[in-house]
């Protein structure tokens, strides 16, 4: 399930953890509401904040080290073995790269629909969304929901941290004295604000795409994807309605046969 923790993303993961706990430490060392509550013996909010930070770190490692849905063999991924008939294959408009014998030019494995080869991970990934450099892993069928959950928890932590950091600024007689007193906290607050905006935009965009049952790769490159480029600008063959899309994304576990969804058949995970 998990890749080698000391792989190419070791430095990125280490930087994430260090940055997270350094900012947390800054919030407790300055005169913020967290520190005031701790000094008064009111430990509920400080402990809850630390636990939420810990959950965000654990989710980060889970998403970062999890198999995103690598295609490892032809046996489990053959389209005809999944129940897509010869007649249905003929229904897809002919393109230079036929879906019937669609094989990856890099790993030479047959690609299930919606999969894509990642040059960084050197694998084809089911329901490929994108390769995220911050987690140093692909986001695909197996870890996409966990990635969205991680973004949601991370956003809560960042907004809470921003509020607490804002409460820690103290007044001073001059600008120079204020800057010496609050300089470190100001830097942490600025960083938290930038990260909050980034995570908010990422979470919003992913929830929007999930509600349409499309991926970042399909949204950005549909004009180059064989099973989508013949569709109209507003046509998505995988869209089953917002509620069903969200339910399928968050609540349906297992490998999905996207060929059957494409042809509007009843679909169950296998």
Q: Is 132 a catalytic residue?
A: yes
pLDDT at position 8, please? Answer: 60
118, 121, 124, 132: the catalytic one is 132
For residues 72 and 248, the answer to whether their CB atoms sit within 8 Å is: no
Residue 45 has pLDDT above 60, yes or no: yes
pLDDT digits (tens, 9 = 90+) for 57-87: 999 999 999 999 999 887 544 443 344 444 4
Residues 146-157: pLDDT tens digits? 999 999 999 999
Q: Considering only 29-33, 65-69, 99-103, which range has the smallest mean pLDDT?
A: 99-103
∠ CA 253-255-256, nearest 5°, is: 95
Select from 170, 168, 148 the least CA-distant residue to 245: 148
CA dist., res. 7 & res. 185, Å (int): 33
- Residue 117 phi, psi (nearest 5): -80, 130
Q: Which of these, 144, 156, 162, 155, lies nearest to 33 by C-alpha position?
A: 162
State what percent of residues in the chain have pLDDT above 90. 57
Task: Give the separation between CA 117 and CA 96, rounded to whole angstroms.
Answer: 18
Q: Which of 64, 199, 210, 205 is nearest to 143 (CA)?
A: 64
Which strand (E) or helix (H) includes residue 71? strand 70-71
CB 86 within 8 A of CB 130: no
Evaluate whether 128 touches 215 at the Cβ level (below 8 Å). yes
From CA 237, how far away is CA 201, in angstroms rounded?
26
Of 234, 147, 257, 200, the closest CA to residue 248 belongs to: 257
pLDDT of the residue at 81: 39
CA nearest neighbour of 199 among 159, 167, 161: 159
Closest CA to 188 of 217, 149, 153, 161: 161
Predicted confidence (pLDDT) per residue in 170-221, tens digit = 888 888 888 888 899 999 999 999 999 999 999 999 999 999 999 999 999 9
DSSP assignment letter at 30 = T
Q: For residue 132, list its beta bridge partners.
A: 137
| Average pLDDT along the chain | 85
Q: What is the pLDDT of residues 160-169, one digit of tens each?
A: 999 999 999 9
Confidence at residue 98, expressed as pLDDT on a 0 to 100 scale: 40
Give me 2's structure tokens: 């998990």
Output the CA angle 156-160-166, nearest 5 degrees: 150
Name 71's bridge partners: 124
pLDDT exceeding 70 applies to what percent of the chain?
Answer: 84
Residue 257: CB partners within 8 Å, gap ≥ 6?
82, 83, 84, 267, 270
Question: What is the predicted pLDDT for the residue at 7?
Answer: 53
Q: Is it the case that residue 264 has pLDDT exceeding 70? A: no
- Is 245 within 8 Å of 210 (Cβ atoms)? yes
């Amino acid at each position: 399930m998990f890749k080698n923790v000391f792989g190419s993303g070791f430095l990125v993961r280490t930087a994430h953890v260090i940055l997270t706990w350094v900012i947390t430490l800054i919030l407790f060392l300055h005169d913020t509401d967290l520190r005031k509550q701790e000094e008064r013996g009111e430990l509920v909010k400080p402990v809850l904040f630390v636990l939420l930070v810990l959950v965000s770190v654990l989710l980060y490692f889970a998403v970062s080290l999890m198999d995103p849905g690598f295609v490892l063999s032809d046996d489990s991924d053959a389209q005809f073995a999944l129940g897509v008939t010869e007649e249905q294959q003929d229904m897809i408009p002919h393109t230079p790269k036929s879906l019937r014998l669609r094989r990856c030019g890099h790993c030479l494995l047959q690609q299930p629909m919606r999969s894509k080869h990642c040059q960084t991970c050197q694998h084809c990934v089911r329901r490929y969304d994108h390769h995220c450099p911050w987690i140093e892993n692909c986001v695909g069928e197996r870890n996409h929901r966990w990635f969205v959950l991680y973004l949601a928890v991370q956003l809560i932590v960042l907004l809470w941290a921003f509020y607490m950091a804002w409460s820690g600024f103290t007044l001073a007689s001059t600008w120079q004295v204020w800057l010496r007193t609050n300089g470190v906290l100001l830097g942490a607050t600025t960083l938290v604000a930038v990260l909050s905006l980034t995570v908010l935009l990422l979470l919003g965009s992913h929830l929007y795409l999930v509600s349409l049952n499309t991926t970042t790769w399909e949204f950005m490159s549909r004009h180059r994807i064989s099973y989508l480029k013949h569709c109209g600008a507003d046509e998505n063959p995988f869209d089953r309605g917002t509620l069903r899309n969200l339910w399928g994304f968050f609540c349906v576990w297992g490998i999905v046969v996207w060929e059957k969804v494409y042809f509007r058949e009843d679909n169950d995970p296998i």
